[in-house]
Amino acid sequence: MAAVKNIFVVGLNDFNRQRLETLHGAEGCRFHGVIAPELVYDTEEFDIAAMLSEATAQLEAFEGSIDAIVGYMDFPVSTMLPILCERFDVRSTSLSSLLKCEHKYWSRRVQREVIPDHIPGFTAFDPFDDEAMTRIGEAGLYFPFFVKPIKSSGSRLGFRIDTPEDFYQAIAQLRESIGTIADPFNTVLEQAQLPPEIAAVDGHFCMAEEIIGGWQCTVEGYVFEGKVVSYGIVDSLRYPQVLSFFHYRYPSGLPEDIQTTMVELTDRIMTHIGYDNAAFNIEYFWDEVQGRIWLLEINTRISQSHCDLFEKVDGVSNQQVTIDLGLGRRPDMPHREGEFPVAAKFFHRVFFTDAVVTRVPTDAELAELVTDFPGCHVAVQVEEGQRLSSLPEQDAYSFALAHVYLGASSVEQLLADFDRLVARLAFEFDDVQG
């Protein structure tokens, strides 16, 4: 009988443990949590040095074999994994290759070396420099442009800048809040060998970039022993007139030739970076009017938001990729073997400045929805009595009240089902602001 594989998952929660236990080969694995999920999920305070110490102590105290250390979340989990994997001699990509994806300035410089026609104009700047706007102009960027931190999480602290007033408002917010990610990210940068021009641009810096846009999508893939494999493209669709995401939909509706080009670009950039033995996803825009494909950013993990979509359409969550790679195996990812031809994760949002939640759907109401919409899952994101502005990881324009996962026979059916379902989600508010 084969020995049980001990897989340590950073930030493991019950929801993902259940999903992991349905993966191919999971019966031969035992999943262990490392670092409590609330320390990486429901907070914006990340003491990476303390978390690394805690994880190291947990792993050193384990008496069995340590066969894989994995995660499926963005910062801070993604940046800790190469450090922990190197300490315990298990599979992962190198820290430097990961930072060439996650340090946005370094990533753009590396991308420019091999796919210069597919990235926007960009420059780094210090938000604490009173001459920052002048320096951005000297770098050849003019209104409108987009501003974001060198390392961000989700859509936090990203701003479209149309006027000087927009810029100074953004700078005020950045100065106040950038340290929550910059400080822990700098802890990671200290562990890496950085070129001098990158070392000079630490986590407190920001990026200014030309505005790019179009049809947004994500190429999900991995690199195994030097070979880049892209196994699915998921569309990211926004609410009209705003930057907030409406839903992620799989499979992509993009033209086949555009999908093929994105896969070729993905192969080129991930090979150039030297990324290996790990999952990734790359966000792109297809600007149909200009006939341009733009690379938006590279994430060094599977997209957790896409797990249910791959399960519904292909037959297994893309967490399969993470686990197989962690164990040094070629991923066993099926294709179109799921229950539904199309699936989506919807974001049910309110576009308030702020409010207090006074009612959320009951467990009985949610159970009725599962009965009436087979395969659906509703993950409520708020609690009674909660002020919306206290929610972590929100964009600058709205608040997500619930994540709604649905499968359907067609895109039209998917959208119709969402409309019918969301009409039955009874949220109520008090002290509503704007």
CATH code assigned at 156 = 3.30.1490
**What is the DSSP secondary structure assignment for residue 2, as one 8-state letter?**
P
Instruction: For residues 256 and 331, state if they share a domain.
Output: yes
DSSP string over 197-259: HHHTS-TT-EEEEE---SEEEEEEEEEETTEEEEEEEEEEEE-TTSSSEEEEEES--S-HHHH
Domain assignment of residue 233, yes or no: yes
Of all residues in the chain, the percent with pLDDT exceeding 70 is 99
Place of tokens 């290996």: 276
Q: Given the DSSP bridges, would you call strands 377-380 and 399-408 parallel, antiparallel or unpaired?
A: antiparallel
Instruction: For residues 333 and 349, state if they share a domain.
Output: yes
CATH code assigned at 333 = 3.30.470.20
Domain containing residue 183: 121-210
pLDDT tens-digit profile of 203-222?
Answer: 999 999 999 999 999 999 99
Q: Token digits for 415?
A: 């959208």
CA neighbours closer than 13 Å in the CB half-sphere of residue 321:
32
As a whole number, mean pLDDT of residues 403-427 equals 97
**What is the DSSP secondary structure assignment for residue 260, as one 8-state letter?**
H
Instruction: For residues 198 and 241, state if they share a domain.
Output: no
Does the pTM surpass 0.95? The reply is no
SS3 content of the chain, % helix, strand, coil (to 5): 35, 25, 35
As a whole number, mean pLDDT of residues 394-398 equals 79
Task: Place 12 in a pLDDT band, splitting at 50, 70 and 90.
Answer: very high
1: pLDDT strictly greater than 80: no
Pick from 302, 322, 306, 331: which is nearest to 8 by CA? 322
Instruction: For residues 425 and 277, state if they share a domain.
Output: yes
**Using CA atoms, how far apart are residues 202 and 134, in angstroms rounded to an integer?**
20
Domain assignment of residue 17, yes or no: yes
Give the pLDDT of residue 154: 66
User: Which residues fall within 8 angstroms of residue 223, CB to CB, at 6 or more apart?
Assistant: 93, 229, 270, 275, 276, 277, 278, 280
Domain assignment of residue 98, yes or no: no
The number of folded domains in the chain is 3
Give the pLDDT of residue 42: 66
Domain assignment of residue 107, yes or no: no
Domain assignment of residue 108, yes or no: no
101: pLDDT strictly greater than 70: yes
Least trusted range by pLDDT, from 45-49, 131-135, 343-347? 45-49
pLDDT tens-digit profile of 171-193?
Answer: 999 999 999 999 999 999 999 99
**Using CA atoms, how far apart are residues 182 and 248, in angstroms rounded to an integer?**
28
**Using CA atoms, how far apart are residues 278 and 325, in angstroms rounded to an integer?**
6
Domain assignment of residue 231, yes or no: yes
Give the pLDDT of residue 392: 79
**Using CA atoms, how far apart are residues 209 and 122, in angstroms rounded to an integer?**
4
